[in-house]
Amino acid sequence: MRGGFTLVELLVVISIIVTLGGLSLKVILSKLKEGNKTQALENIKTVGMALFTFDQDYSSFPCDATIEQVKNNCPDFQSNFGNTYSNDFFRQLIATKKVDQETPFYVKCSYTKKPDNIMTQGKCLAGGECGIGYIMASQTEPLSQSSAAGDTPLLVSVLDNAKKDGTFDPNVFDAKAVIGHIDQSVTTDPVRTNDKMVMIRGKKMLEGGKDSVWGPDIVPVIKPPMKATSSGTSQLPTTSPDDNNH
């Protein structure tokens, strides 16, 4: 009878354990990503419903023109508005109580942090507490149900490094993007590996022209989420989205 394992036997056992551990880790990471994607789908659906409720009350999705209306109608809302980031426009949804907390705007990725649901001055949807981009018909004009087709994208995630150029991070959801459309549907669309773009109707997501979702008249822009800062409390940025993304 032998008193123990040989070196070869020990190496075989160790290699089996390492292999099984690696496989288990892959399964765990895959499950985590799938869970994060499911949460993003639900959150974008919630924000989409809030936008449509807002539209019913203000005859528009949040835009520059609705800021003063919201201020007048919600004098108790102790925070500021803006028009640079999606956080700025989504803050109108919180002020009007279409959404009662920050959590639905969160998508887990490299530039976000878990929302603290503190909505006092300077805290409401601070940098990093939103991971959803907001698409508008122009720099100042919102999309509308009447001006765009049902499959027109309205809410998007996860944008690559919170940029506004229509590129997506392929690593967050296994080369998929989560997109909320005008008709309130939410889809997961493939992200191309060569340019990190998503195709809709055979064209790049922000590409206009004949046969595109935008037609010849709309030149869409993305209002990206504001990335988390070192302090995590910045609300009214001193840089433009382009500066913030370098």
Does residue 20 lie within any of the structural domains? no
Question: pTM for this structure?
Answer: 0.82
Assess whether pLDDT exceeds 80 at residue 115.
yes
- What is the C-alpha to C-alpha distance for residues 36 and 106, in angstroms, rounded to an integer? 10
The DSSP call for residue 161 is G
Q: 3 lies in a domain?
A: no
Answer yes or no: are the C-beta atoms of 125 and 87 closer than 8 Å.
Answer: yes
Q: Which helix (H) or strand (E) holds 17?
A: helix 7-58
Does residue 47 belong to any structural domain of this protein? yes
5 in any annotated domain: no
pLDDT digits (tens, 9 = 90+) for 33-73: 788 999 999 999 999 999 999 999 999 999 999 999 999 99
pLDDT score of 21 more than 80: no
The pLDDT of 171-196, averaged and rounded, is: 96
What is the rounded CA–CA span in Å between residue 90 and residue 81? 9
Residue 210: band (very low, low, confident or very high) from pLDDT cuts 50, 70, 90: confident
Spatial distance between the Cα atoms of 137 and 217, rounded to a whole number of angstroms: 9
Residue 2: per-residue pLDDT = 54
| Identity of the residue numbered 233 | T
Residue with tokens 């994607």: 37
- DSSP 8-state secondary structure symbol assigned to residue 157: E
Q: Within the chain, how many helices (H) and strands (E) appear?
A: 4, 7
> Which pLDDT does position 231 carry in this prediction?
43
Domain count for the chain: 1
The predicted structure's pLDDT at residue 15:
82
For residue 21, being part of any structural domain is answered with no
Residue 11 included in any domain: no
Residue 233: pLDDT band with limits 50, 70, 90:
very low
Neighbours of 245 (CB within 10 A): 17
* Domain span including residue 43: 32-244
Does residue 10 form part of some domain?
Answer: no
Identify whether 19 is part of a domain: no
